[in-house]
Homo-oligomer: A and B are copies of this chain.
C-alpha cells in the first residue's frame, strides 16, 4: 500500500487513510505499528518513505532470501514467473522435480534437478526457504528432507498439514479451502 501511495506522489499518510485502504480501523493501524516502534508525527501522520523503509526492515526485506522451488508443475511455473517475487528479495536459486521427463530442462538460467539432490542443494546454496508445489502425497517427505538440510521456513501449497519441528515456520496456501470459505459464506448468507 505504501508503495502504491508513493507512486501516486503521497508524502505523508494518516492511520485513517491507511485503514480505509486496508479495510480496517485507524486504531488498529496505530496499535499494530506501536508494537514495533513509534513511526509517526502527531498532527501530521506517517512519512510514507520512512514507514515503508522501516516496515521493509521489520519484514526482513532488506536482504536477499535464497529460495528452492520444489515441484516444476503449473503452480511452480506460475510462481517462478511472478515478477513481484524477485522484486521483494526472494531469489529462486534451484528447481527440483521428481519427474524424469522434466529433469534437465532449463527454466531461465536454472536446470531442473532431481529430488535426490534437494538436501545437498539446500546446503550448498544456503537456501533459507523452500516452496512446496508438489502433490499432497509427496509433501511431508520433501518437508522432512528440507528440515534436515537446515531450511528456515516453508511455503506449502499441498493440501496437507505438515508435521515439522517447532521453530520452523510454515505458511500454507490451500486454494480449494479459499473457495470453500467463499461458498460457506454465501451459503450462510442465503439462509438468513
Contact = CB atoms under 8 A, between A and B. Distances in A.
Number of copies: 2
A173 interface: yes
Contacts of A84: 159, 175-176
Given A58-B187, A75-B82, A129-B182, 12 more contacts: A1-B161, A4-B160, A58-B184, A59-B183, A78-B78, A85-B179, A88-B176, A89-B183, A128-B186, A152-B182, A153-B183, A169-B181
Given A22-B161, A75-B78, A155 B178 contact: yes
Place the interface of chain A in its size category.
Answer: 35 or more
A32 interface: no
A95 to B, nearest CB: 15
A185 to B, nearest CB: 4
A110 to B, nearest CB: 16
A161 B58 CA distance: 22
A183 B74 CA distance: 24
Contacts of A65: 179, 183
Nearest to A22: B161
